[in-house]
Amino acid sequence: MEKDNFMKLYVLENDLLKVTFLDVGASIYSFSVKALDNRNIVLTTKDKNIYKEPPKNAYFGATVGRVGGRIANGEFIIDGKKYQAAQNEKVTNSLHGGFESYAAKLFEVVEEKEDYITFRYVSRDGEGGYPGELELYVKYTLLDNCLALDYEARTTKKTLVNIINHSYFNLNGKGDILKHKVSADVEAVFALDDKQINLLPLKVRKGDTFDLSTGKKLEKMVFAKEVNVPPMGGVDHLLVTPKRKLTLEGEDLRLIVLSDYPAVQIYSTNYPPEVTLLEGTKVIKYGGLAIEPADIVCGQNGEFKNLELCPGEVYKRRIKYIVELL
């Protein structure tokens, strides 16, 4: 463990991978592949203090909640009662938990072993506009060529929960990701409307832009006429993936992302934050692909039934990042 400006850096390491984490946001800070000269395959801000203000670095590597994604006007209904979440995007939407996003919260380390580390955060009742005290555990486990991420949460009142990780990947470690190839079994896709809220899903058919069944380079999606338009300016889509698997390939490396979420949000860094990376360069447009396994945030009449968590229930989600050399 290292300490830097009142922020702690933790390390999990084996013969293949070295992954570092910050207690702020229980964030993945760096993700290095030893066989490739310790190449860092995630976007990492050089100044760690920026992680305390996640919008400045576009939530790099952070644990996002209480609800990852966008809620229109920040309004939601539970059991007939209307709640107001903080509107932190364009003065209308609540994005990634609003101003009280877990991305900026200081997590406590409750267990640290050679191959895993567990972080804990307790979100107070009413924080960010959400009912119930939520106790959240974030556990990272490193085993061979796989980093596993487990979320577990409990609440004291019925609430909404969609905890996601917001890491940006560039498997080449530099440049843009337009030549990276993405593969997935995509059943449907949610695009954004002009207020950046998920529209109803569109079924994906063979040959469509988001038909990724045989793999497709990101540039084919980013510059598709229906994709490269405001407000998206590139890929910023929620993909419904029945097999719950997405594969990303760079020049010499493959990343397989498995999860038990029904969907995955992908974002091609269309609007790069003005920050300096660990390597000393600036973030460039299309410089990384955020891969965010997630539950579907698309309310009907203000209700988000699929996101509801009740007292006595346990919220559990798992993500596995598997790294393979090509």
DSSP string, 207-239: TSTT--TT-EEHHHHHT-TTTSSTTTSS-EEEE
Structure tokens at 224: 């598709």
CB 57 within 8 A of CB 51: yes
What's the pLDDT score for residue 195?
66
pLDDT tens digits along 75-122? 999 999 999 998 888 768 888 988 899 999 999 999 999 999 999 999
Position 12 scores a pLDDT of: 98
What are the structure tokens assigned to 216, written together?
């497709």
May I ask the CATH class of domain 2-325?
Answer: mainly beta
Residues 6+ apart with CB under 8 A from 208: none
Domain locations along the chain = 2-325
Whether omega for the bond prior to residue 55 falls within 30 degrees of 0, making it cis, is: no
Write out residues in the chain with pLDDT < 50, as ranges.
none
Partners of residue 93 on adjacent β-strands: 89
Helix (H, G, I), strand (E, B) or coil at 53: coil
How many C-alpha atoms does 213 have within 13 Å on its Cβ side?
10
According to the model, what pLDDT value does residue 3 have? 54
Residue 158: the pLDDT is: 98
First to last CA, the chain: 32
The whole-number pLDDT of residue 229 equals 78
pLDDT of residue 7: 84
pLDDT in tens, 268-288: 999 999 999 999 999 999 999
pLDDT at position 199 is: 67
CA 85 to chain centroid, in Å, comes to 20
Closest CA relative to residue 21, chosen from 117, 128, 137: 117
